[in-house]
């Protein structure tokens, strides 16, 4: 990876060269995938329980650089039954961790013509800073409706009261930044939180379901309308997770449970043939899952534009 490219701020306006949004219809439900930018992260985080030679071989096969590469950061906006639902909120401001290309959500919502005041509900897959940070950007809370509902698993809020970082493998500075973002989010938005235990229907055909694993309250969002289905998997699935579902991602607080969650979800999605979108799959990250021997294969959707 060229550090020069990674540290160049994203240009805004009509000359921005990167694609930043992609629309999909799921029956009657409108889905807009919005890129919050990319996160340059060390490759060891792909599978810190994997043999380093196996990790290097996978990166080579994927034509990825050996030390660090840019992870996508996707956010989803859903419209169903008169509600406008933001699923996750991106990184927000760079918490001094050299992540200058993420945190584009607010600007990109505006360029998509989405007014923050039109958002009726926020659903959080979990409370890591790359999923809640956009709500902590200065001025954002003032633009949101006072009656905004923020749906998050009760187990997630509880976890961040005394988070366990003993099983993660993150670069220096990340645990503190994650703790502080989650704590700030919980205190700033406490009165707007709508907690659920296992499952909650946020809007017609929009169901958030707790999976645990990545974090104890990690949840996925299942969309269903007519015969169409789409699952937003949050951080249950990463790019490497199709070939190596048992590799432990450095951000997983309970990596063994996270691997079980991943295998269960990918097996189910392969059986139903429904569409998958996930936070850190390459933008726009719409695709399907196939079983491939004792692992899986990601089948990207053909772009429709």
Q: Which stretch binds Zn ion (CB under 5 A): 42-50, 61-69, 129-137, 293-301?
A: 129-137
**Region of residue 226 (left: phi > 0; alpha: psi -120 to 50; beta: else):** left
DSSP class of residue 162 equals S
Closest approach of Cβ 131 to Zn ion, in Å? 6
Q: How far is the CB of 128 from Zn ion (least distance, A)?
A: 5
Q: Provide the 8-state DSSP code for 134.
A: G
| Closest distance of CB 251 from Zn ion, Å | 6
Nearer to Zn ion, 36 or 130 (CB): 130
Q: Does 88 bind Zn ion (CB under 5 A)?
A: no
Phi (first) and psi of residue 21, to 5 degrees = -155, 150
168 phi, psi to nearest 5 deg: -85, 170
**156 is a contact residue toward Zn ion (CB under 5 A):** no
Among 130, 169, 252, 254, binds Zn ion (CB under 5 A): 130
CB 288 within 8 A of CB 299: yes
- Whether residue 284 is preceded by a cis peptide bond, meaning omega within 30 degrees of 0, is yes
In whole angstroms, give the CA distance from residue 110 to residue 123. Answer: 19
Q: How far is the CB of 89 from Zn ion (least distance, A)?
A: 11
Residue with tokens 């633009």: 143
User: Which range touches Zn ion (CB under 5 A), out of 6-14, 97-105, 123-131, 175-183?
Assistant: 123-131
List 36, 70, 121, 235, residue binding Zn ion (CB under 5 A): 235
CB of 180 to Zn ion, least distance (A): 16
Instruction: Please count the residues of this chain forming the interface with Zn ion, following the rule CB under 5 A.
Output: 2
Rounded CA gap, 164 and 128, in Å? Answer: 13
Contact footprint for Zn ion (CB under 5 A) = 130, 235
């Amino acid at each position: 990876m060229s550090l020069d490219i990674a540290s160049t701020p994203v240009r805004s306006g009509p000359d921005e060269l990167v694609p930043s949004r992609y629309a999909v219809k799921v029956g009657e439900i409108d889905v807009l995938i919005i890129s919050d930018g990319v996160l340059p992260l060390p490759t060891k985080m792909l599978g810190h329980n994997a043999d380093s030679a196996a990790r290097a071989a996978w990166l080579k096969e994927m034509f990825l650089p050996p030390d660090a590469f840019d992870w996508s950061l996707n956010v989803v906006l859903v419209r169903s039954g008169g509600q406008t639902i933001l699923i996750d909120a991106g990184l927000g401001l760079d918490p001094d961790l050299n992540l200058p290309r993420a945190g584009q959500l607010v600007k990109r919502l505006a360029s998509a013509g989405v007014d923050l005041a039109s958002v009726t509900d926020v659903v959080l897959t979990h409370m890591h800073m790359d999923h809640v940070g956009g709500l902590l950007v200065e001025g954002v809370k003032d633009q949101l409706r006072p009656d905004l509902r923020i749906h998050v698993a009760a187990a997630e809020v509880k976890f961040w009261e005394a988070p366990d970082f003993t099983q993660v493998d993150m670069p220096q500075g990340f645990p503190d930044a994650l703790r502080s973002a989650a704590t700030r989010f919980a205190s700033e938005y406490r009165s707007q939180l709508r907690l659920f235990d296992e499952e909650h229907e946020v809007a017609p055909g929009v169901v958030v379901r707790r999976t645990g694993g990545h974090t104890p309250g990690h949840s996925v969002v299942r969309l269903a309308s007519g015969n169409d289905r789409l699952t937003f998997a949050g951080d249950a699935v990463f790019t490497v997770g199709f070939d190596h579902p048992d590799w432990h991602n450095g951000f997983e607080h309970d990596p063994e449970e996270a691997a079980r969650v991943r295998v269960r979800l990918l097996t189910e999605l392969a059986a139903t043939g429904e569409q998958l979108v996930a936070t850190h799959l390459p933008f726009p990250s719409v695709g399907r899952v196939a079983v491939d021997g004792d692992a899986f294969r990601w089948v990207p959707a053909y772009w429709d534009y």
